[in-house]
Amino acid sequence: MLCRRRFIPLTTVLALSLTLTVRPAAAKQDILFGGASITGVYYQVALQISNIMNKHLGQKYNYIGRPTGGSVFSINAIERQAFDFGVAQSDRNWQGFYGTADWEGKPLKTLRSVFSMHPETVLLVTRKDTGIRKVEDMKGKRINIGNPGSGQRGNAEDVLRIYGIDPNKDIRAEGLQQAEASRALVDRKIDAFFFTVGNPSAAIEEPAQSVDLVIVPINSKGIQQFVDKHPYYIMTKIPAGTYKGVNQDIETYAVTATVVTNESVADAVVYDLVKTVFDNLAELKASHAAFKNLDPQEMLKGLSAPFHPGAITYYQEKGWM
């Protein structure tokens, strides 16, 4: 026995040590989590949840937070199973599952809800020197309505329609990604942009350091009636002081950011995500100012696509369902 042990061939030793070092890493499952623009809050959702998952369940998963084109892009990527999880506005969650707006006649029956995150406001942001103080003042101006694939583009189109502004005739509509739009506003290449986002967002904080910004209220009677008609919209206020130069409350309407997945993602993967996020919610709340008011009861509301069964198992264990 002793003799034999002494003569274990070197190749066997090498192969053995290679197996021992390589196997644990190979066993990890890559999970792709789609955010949106790098200056928005969704990207922070994807990054911060990925950090929490890799910290607490790093032996099992390798979570990767990715920027994307926004809600519509992410919902479509989840449908194609290119992402495991993504963040999407509550109005797009509803429209995707029931097949309206961008998904007219093509309901995404595999879309599943996981939980809600922070509230997002429909913002119209301009420079002080453009003179735009009301939505109607946008006429003749160059306005970024958002890239196709973003959630804000649909909100911008709704606002324009409700205020009777034709995007093809009355304004010069641009379709920039949000990171470019924030820069373009500073560079005077556009006069205003729409962005539907949690607060505070770097997409507004950064330009506010270079130019005087104004956030325009979106609160006409028409908007209030529109909000009343849809369960996923509410009227809200951006509190004074949220951004540099914003010295009074600004009235507008809001949606909720929701985490979504595909029914084909394994129950255990969704269960592990939900359990780890809720068991470590204090860490998530502390990771970004937009998350500080997250509350478990609220995080189960505002979701239109059915919950994924992996999430239901955890919510039932907690007695939340």
Query: Where does this chain bind ligand GLU (CB under 6 A)?
Result: 36-37, 40-42, 70-71, 89, 120, 150-152, 196-198
Q: What's the closest the beta carbon of residue 21 comes to ligand GLU, in angstroms?
A: 39
List CB contacts of 146: < 8 A, sequence separation 6 or more. Answer: 70, 152, 153, 155, 156, 175, 176, 178, 181, 193, 194, 195
CB 187 within 8 A of CB 177: no
Q: How many CA atoms lie within 13 A of 25 on its CB side?
A: 5
In terms of CB distance, is 137 or 206 closer to ligand GLU?
206
In terms of CB distance, is 28 or 289 closer to ligand GLU?
289
Distance CA 290, CA 4 (A): 64
Q: What's the closest the beta carbon of residue 203 comes to ligand GLU, in angstroms?
A: 7
Q: What is the 3-state secondary structure of 78-128?
A: HHCCCCCEEEEEHHHHHHHHHCCHHHCCCCCCCEEEEEEEEEEEEEEEEEH
In terms of CB distance, is 269 or 303 closer to ligand GLU?
303
Residue least distant from ligand GLU (Cβ): 40
Q: Where are the alpha helices (DSSP H) in 99-201?
A: 151-162, 178-186
Residue whose C-alpha is closest to residue 191's, from 170, 213, 206, 209 = 213
Distance CA 147, CA 193 (A): 11
List CB contacts of 25: < 8 A, sequence separation 6 or more. Answer: none
Q: What's the closest the beta carbon of residue 252 comes to ligand GLU, in angstroms?
A: 13
In terms of CB distance, is 41 or 270 closer to ligand GLU?
41
Q: What's the closest the beta carbon of residue 140 comes to ligand GLU, in angstroms?
A: 26
How many other C-beta atoms lie within 10 A of the C-beta of residue 12?
9
In terms of CB distance, is 69 or 310 closer to ligand GLU?
69
Q: What's the closest the beta carbon of residue 216 comes to ligand GLU, in angstroms?
A: 18
Q: What's the closest the beta carbon of residue 287 comes to ligand GLU, in angstroms?
A: 14
In terms of CB distance, is 198 or 310 closer to ligand GLU?
198
Q: What's the closest the beta carbon of residue 192 comes to ligand GLU, in angstroms?
A: 17
In terms of CB distance, is 65 or 198 closer to ligand GLU?
198
